[in-house]
């Protein structure tokens, strides 16, 4: 799965084939390598030449913008200005930051190589943001920058107004390196070709160098031998006869590369006798499907909104829909960040805070194969690769329905140049035919009551393609106050080559570490953990975390015909350790975040509950090096006191980190969390034993968890919504049985 790479194969590969050929023909020394495609992932102008234009759909939604006449379709973003304290850095701001940084003393030696690993908004203090109202001047805009200069990593902040640069190296953790730049990954995947032994080994395996594609795979951390150097492992594949080169590994060939110098440090070939799996039936591009073989299973389907959508995106980032309002932005590391989510109280009309900030904090994807070419595959996609950096433009007709509105991301290249990732996020109203609430009276009562309300939701979506694997992250808002966080897994498995082409040939004792999916192809067992940061602010910042345990009570003899029943027992977590939760089916609890200072009419504290699902837990040894780094998955739920430096569950610098800056370490401080500003962390987990249906590309598997109001409203908040009436709907009748 997380091999790593960000080429958008499905659309771009095909669309730019001609351009590639041109580039190729003009760069005789460039290996004909998919890395070329990376330029599309960053900012190369040829990606957006007349030859290939990403299908930027004109927004179909009516977008209100305080600048009349402007739509959201400002593809260069050159004139964007921030309008909200949490707005991401604009193109102009990034350029200013870059200038300030590069004129700072640290960068005085113009011959010293440098790289800017990230430039992002240094969000103003929470108190300032909460006080801010539309129309007020913005708090000072600051950027946080992670830079490598003269071989050292530095954390800097830049005051954008004054250009003053401050070095805050005390924030640099004891171990680990920052998220790789796209340029790191691109160069690493080329690095092996500088090594004659690599070339001859590849050719010896029967793969033409011109058909060789390599992936930069983060190394994890496995002890002293790998310390003191920023390392990456590169493994390669044959692209001959398929775009799905992931199915054609040159198994066992691992090249260790120094990420700073791009020199080959080590080289191992443990698979000289393992064949390269065949290309047949691995491609997944529709353009290659024979017309007679297409499976046309359904008629076209689409959502109609005759009166237009019910949401607006104001000032570029504020989404207002139904009874919800929130701030939305793209982030290079987290992907999507939802801030200041507030819901309207149907009684008072007041917008009530629910969550100050929520995002995907880290992913952990350990593979379950301890052999040489596989043991290190224990990826952390957000901190190592950048979950947002790997989120490619969404396809307007297929990734999101036709009624979707698209939002872009603005990121930076390693030299600090801003670039636009278009259509990175989509927002749309979803009607899946579900029911919001209903009741029908049976004839017994003689009351002819038929009441039902349709459920329409608002979905915010992004999809990251971390090399072979694709993650779809949805934030779904419901009018009844519920927020559903859903992660879908699709894309292509990380495949292991094997001499076996049938299970019958495998000696009984041999551990394949996975499933034979096709001839010479093993899908290796692995887990996915997606850890969410949820700074809940239920009606204000000071909240408490309550475990509402379901306990079996025994009746006394003679008390009741019943022997046993369930009782809800409320326990307030006073400190962090009391809020470390391992889910247990036979010792169940509800998990409430409440505001102890605010009660409903009948005296219940107002709250939201975390409704768990996707509950796979890591079974690795707590002392296993990857589990130490991924210790934020040791519990499914954690609660920490709000601390602006504790946002990344695996640590600020995750790459090759040793696990001393994780959520697990912070939580061990056991700080008080009762009636405080608290952050809830939830991990969605998946075990994945691959099966043949996952070949050559996987149907999406999803899991979700909910944030659900619990005594937050005085009563059902959507009691008074109208049902659908025939006159309101577009003409759309089933003709199938007519």
> Closest approach of Cβ 661 to ligand NAG, in Å?
7
CA distance 319 to 159: 28
Of 39, 80, 381, 694, the catalytic one is 381
Give the number of residues in contact with ligand NAG, rule: CB under 6 A.
Answer: 12
What is the three-state SS of 456-511? EEEEEEEEEEECCEEEEEEEEEECCCCEEEEEEEEECCCEEECCCCCHHHCCCCCC
Question: Is the Cα torsion angle 28, 30, 32, 36 positive or negative in sign?
Answer: negative
CB of 32 to ligand NAG, least distance (A): 8
Length of the chain: 738
Q: Which residues have CB under 8 Å from 353's CB, separation 6+? A: 340, 341, 342, 537, 538, 539, 540
Q: How many CB atoms lie within 10 A of CB 315?
A: 16
Query: Within 428-467, which residues bind ligand NAG (CB under 6 A)?
Result: none
User: What is the DSSP track for 317-356?
Assistant: TEEEETTEEEEEEEETTTEEEEEEEEEE-TTT--EEEEEE
Is 681 a binding residue for ligand NAG by CB under 6 A? The answer is no
The token pair that represents 226 in the structure block: 């790998």
Given the complex with ligand NAG, which of 348 and 645 has the nearer CB atom?
Answer: 645
* Secondary structure class of 553 (helix, strand, coil): strand
Q: Is the peptide bond before 696 cis (omega within 30 degrees of 0)?
A: yes
Q: Is 209 in the site for ligand NAG (CB under 6 A)?
A: yes
Structure-token match 């990121």, residue found:
411
Q: Which is nearer to ligand NAG, 393 or 630 (CB)?
A: 630
The catalytically annotated residue of 367, 405, 428, 469 is 469
Closest by CA position to 319, among listed 389, 405, 410: 405
Decide whether 330 or 664 has the Cβ nearer to ligand NAG.
664
DSSP state of 103: T
For residues 16 and 47, the answer to whether their CB atoms sit within 8 Å is yes
Contact 723, 519 (CB under 8 A): no
Nearer to ligand NAG, 52 or 642 (CB): 642
Q: Is 721 helix (H, G, I), strand (E, B) or coil?
A: coil
**Binding test (CB under 6 A) with ligand NAG, winner from 26, 28, 196, 349:** 196
Q: Are residues 731 and 556 in contact, defined by beta-carbon separation less than 8 angstroms?
A: no
Ramachandran category for residue 75: left, alpha or beta (phi over 0 → left; psi -120 to 50 → alpha):
alpha
- Integer Cα distance of 126 and 114 in angstroms: 32
Q: Is 381 noted as a catalytic residue in this protein? A: yes
Find the part of the chain contacting ligand NAG (CB under 6 A) among 188-196, 273-281, 511-519, 613-621: 188-196
Give the C-alpha separation, 735 to 694, whole Å.
35
Residue that has been written with the tokens 């001047």 in this structure: 137
Cross-strand bridge partners of residue 531 = 362, 683
Site string for ligand NAG, 226-255 (x = CB under 6 A): ------------------------------
Q: Which of 114, 237, 642, 666 binds ligand NAG (CB under 6 A)?
A: 666
Instruction: State how far Cα 436 lies from the chain centre.
Output: 28
Please check whether residue 343 is in contact with residue 324, taking contact to mean a CB–CB distance below 8 angstroms. yes
Sign of CA dihedral 694, 698, 700, 701: positive
Residue 670 zone, left/alpha/beta (φ > 0; ψ -120 to 50; rest): left
The continuous run of DSSP H or E covering 421 comes out as strand 418-440
Closer residue to ligand NAG (CB): 643 or 700: 643
User: Rounded distance, CA 325 to CA 311, Å?
Assistant: 10
Contact residues for 186 (Cβ-Cβ < 8 A; gap 6+): 35, 38
Q: How far apart are CA 42 and CA 414, in angstroms?
A: 10
Residue 721: which of 445, 478, 516 has the closest Cα? Answer: 478
Indicate the residue among 257 and 391 with the shorter CB distance to ligand NAG: 257
Nearer to ligand NAG, 29 or 450 (CB): 29
691-710 positions binding ligand NAG, by CB under 6 A: none
CB of 167 to ligand NAG, least distance (A): 17
CB of 239 to ligand NAG, least distance (A): 13
Q: Which is nearer to ligand NAG, 248 or 377 (CB)?
A: 248
CA pair distance 631, 623, nearest whole angstrom: 10
* Least separation in angstroms between CB 663 and ligand NAG: 10
- Residue placing its CB nearer to ligand NAG in the complex, 236 or 606: 236
- Write out the binding residues for ligand NAG, residues 632-661 only, by CB under 6 A: 643, 645-646
Q: Indicate if the alpha-carbon torsion angle 22, 28, 29, 31 is positive or negative.
A: positive
Q: Which is nearer to ligand NAG, 365 or 579 (CB)?
A: 579
Going by their DSSP bridges, the two strands 418-440 and 264-269 should be labelled as unpaired
Q: Is 25 in the site for ligand NAG (CB under 6 A)?
A: no
Secondary structure letter of residue 605 according to DSSP: E
- How far apart CA 142 and CA 389 sit, in angstroms, is 21
Residue 632 CB, shortest distance to ligand NAG, in Å, is 13
Binding flag, residue 533, ligand NAG (CB under 6 A): no
Q: Considering the complex, what minimum distance in angstroms separates the CB of residue 27 from ligand NAG?
A: 11
Q: Does 193 bind ligand NAG (CB under 6 A)?
A: yes
E strand spans, 260-395: 264-269, 311-314, 318-321, 324-331, 335-344, 351-366, 378-379
**Strand 450-466 with 676-688, pairing:** unpaired
Contacting ligand NAG within 31-60 (CB under 6 A):
31
Closest distance of CB 196 from ligand NAG, Å: 4
Least distance to ligand NAG, CB of residue 735, Å: 58
Find the shortest distance in angstroms from Cβ 203 to ligand NAG: 9
Please give the full DSSP string across 128-197, using - where no structure is assigned.
HHHH--TTSPPPPPEEEEEEEETTEEEEEEEETTT--EEE-GGGS-SS-BPPPPHHHHHHHHHGGGG-HH
Active site residue 469: yes
Which residues are near ligand NAG by CB under 6 A?
Answer: 29, 31, 193-194, 196, 199, 209, 643, 645-646, 666, 671
Q: Which residues are catalytic?
A: 381, 469
């Amino acid at each position: 799965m997380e091999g790593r790479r960000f080429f958008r194969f499905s659309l771009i590969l095909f669309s730019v084939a001609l351009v590639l050929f041109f580039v190729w023909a003009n760069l005789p020394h460039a290996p004909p390598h998919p890395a070329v495609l990376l330029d599309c992932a960053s900012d190369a102008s040829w990606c957006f030449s007349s030859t290939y234009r990403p299908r930027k759909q004109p927004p179909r939604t009516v977008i209100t913008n305080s600048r009349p006449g402007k739509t959201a379709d400002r593809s260069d973003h050159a004139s964007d200005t921030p309008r909200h304290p949490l707005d991401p850095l604009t193109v102009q701001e990034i350029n200013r930051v870059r200038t300030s940084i590069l004129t700072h003393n640290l960068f005085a030696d113009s011959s010293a190589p440098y790289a800017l690993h990230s430039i992002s908004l240094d969000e103003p203090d929470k108190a300032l943001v909460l006080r801010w109202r539309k129309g007020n001047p913005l708090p000072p805009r600051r950027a946080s920058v992670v830079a490598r200069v003269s071989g050292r990593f530095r954390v800097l902040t830049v005051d954008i107004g004054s250009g003053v640069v401050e070095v805050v190296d005390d924030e640099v953790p004891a171990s680990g390196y920052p998220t790789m730049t796209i340029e790191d990954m691109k160069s690493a995947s080329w690095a092996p070709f500088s090594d004659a032994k690599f070339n001859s080994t590849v050719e010896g395996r029967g793969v033409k160098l011109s058909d060789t594609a390599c992936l930069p795979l983060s190394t994890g951390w496995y002890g002293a031998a790998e310390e003191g150097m920023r390392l990456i492992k590169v493994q390669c594949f044959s692209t001959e006869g398929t775009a799905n080169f992931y199915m054609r590994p040159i198994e066992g060939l691992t090249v260790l590369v120094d990420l700073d110098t791009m020199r080959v440090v080590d080289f191992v070939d443990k698979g000289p006798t393992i064949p390269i799996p065949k290309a047949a039936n691995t491609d997944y591009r529709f353009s290659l499907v024979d017309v007679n073989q297409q499976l046309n299973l359904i008629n076209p389907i689409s959502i109609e909104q005759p009166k237009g959508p019910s949401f607006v995106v104001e000032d570029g980032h504020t989404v207002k829909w139904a009874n919800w309002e929130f701030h939305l932005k793209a982030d290079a590391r987290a992907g999507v960040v939802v801030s200041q989510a507030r819901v309207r109280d149907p009684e008072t009309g007041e917008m009530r805070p629910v969550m100050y900030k929520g995002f995907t904090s880290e992913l952990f994807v350990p593979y379950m194969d301890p052999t040489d070419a596989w043991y290190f595959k224990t990826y952390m996609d957000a901190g190592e690769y950048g979950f947002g950096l790997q989120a490619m433009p969404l396809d307007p007709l297929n990734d999101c329905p036709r009624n979707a509105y698209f939002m872009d991301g603005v990121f930076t290249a390693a030299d600090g140049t801003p670039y636009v990732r278009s259509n990175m996020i989509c927002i749309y109203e979803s009607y899946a035919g579900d029911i919001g609430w209903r009741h029908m009276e049976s004839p017994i009562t003689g009351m002819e009551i038929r009441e039902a309300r349709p459920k329409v939701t608002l979905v915010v979506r992004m999809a990251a393609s971390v090399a072979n694997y694709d993650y779809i992250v949805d934030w779904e808002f419901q009018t009844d106050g519920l927020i559903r966080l859903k992660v879908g897994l699709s894309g292509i498995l990380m495949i292991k080559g094997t001499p076996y082409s049938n299970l019958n040939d495998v000696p009984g004792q041999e551990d394949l570490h996975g499933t034979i999916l096709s001839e010479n192809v093993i899908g290796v067992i692995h887990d996915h953990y997606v850890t969410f940061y949820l700074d809940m602010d239920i009606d204000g910042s000071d909240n408490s975390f309550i475990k509402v345990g379901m306990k079996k009570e025994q009746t006394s003899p003679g008390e009741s015909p019943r022997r046993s029943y369930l009782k809800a027992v409320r326990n307030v977590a006073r400190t962090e350790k009391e809020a470390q939760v391992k889910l247990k089916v036979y010792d169940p609890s509800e998990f409430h975040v409440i505001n102890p200072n605010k009660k409903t009419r009948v005296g219940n504290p107002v709250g939201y509950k975390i409704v768990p699902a996707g509950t796979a837990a890591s079974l690795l040894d707590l002392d296993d090096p990857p589990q130490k780094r991924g210790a934020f998955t040791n519990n499914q739920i954690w609660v920490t006191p709000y601390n602006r430096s504790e946002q990344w569950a695996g640590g600020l610098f995750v790459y090759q980190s040793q696990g001393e800056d994780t959520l697990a370490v912070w939580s061990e401080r056991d700080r008080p969390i009762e009636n405080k500003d608290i952050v809830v962390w939830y991990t969605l987990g998946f075990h994945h034993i691959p099966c043949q249906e996952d070949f050559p590309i996987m149907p999406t598997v999803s899991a979700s968890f909910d944030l659900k109001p619990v005594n937050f409203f005085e009563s059902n908040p959507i009691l008074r919504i109208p049902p659908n009436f025939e006159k309101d709907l577009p003409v759309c009748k089933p003709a199938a049985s007519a």
